[in-house]
Structure 1
């Protein structure tokens, strides 16, 4: 995901939001990250799984 390029894991939801803002992600992407159903992510795969659940 381009918005999280360069993200180090494990990461908190706040870490993801900060990285997305640094990468100039759209407000829609940032809001979706803020709504993800978990607060801690161990890998990009964890983010992708949560993203899929959060977009339903």
Structure 2
């Protein structure tokens, strides 16, 4: 997956999510917030399906950790 999302936009998209969360919940939350299409697409293409917190999501998107 291309790592093109802005980290700040990603964190904004994750605001208000109750963790642990699944990929579908992350995508739905981001769409409801009007998040950039690029960020929503990256969230929906994540291979992992369960996330324990926003740092876990960031690691999956940006490949760190």
Question: So what's the TM-score if we normalise by structure 2?
Answer: 0.76
**Are positions 1:17 and 2:34 aligned together?**
no
C-alpha displacement at 1:6, in angstroms?
0.7
Consecutive unaligned residues of structure 1, counting only runs of 5 or more, are: none
C-alpha displacement at 1:37, in angstroms?
2.2
Moved over 3 A (4+): none
Consecutive unaligned residues of structure 2, counting only runs of 5 or more, are: 1-10
What value does the CA root-mean-square deviation take over the aligned residues? 0.8
C-alpha displacement at 1:3, in angstroms?
1.0
Question: So what's the TM-score if we normalise by structure 1?
Answer: 0.87
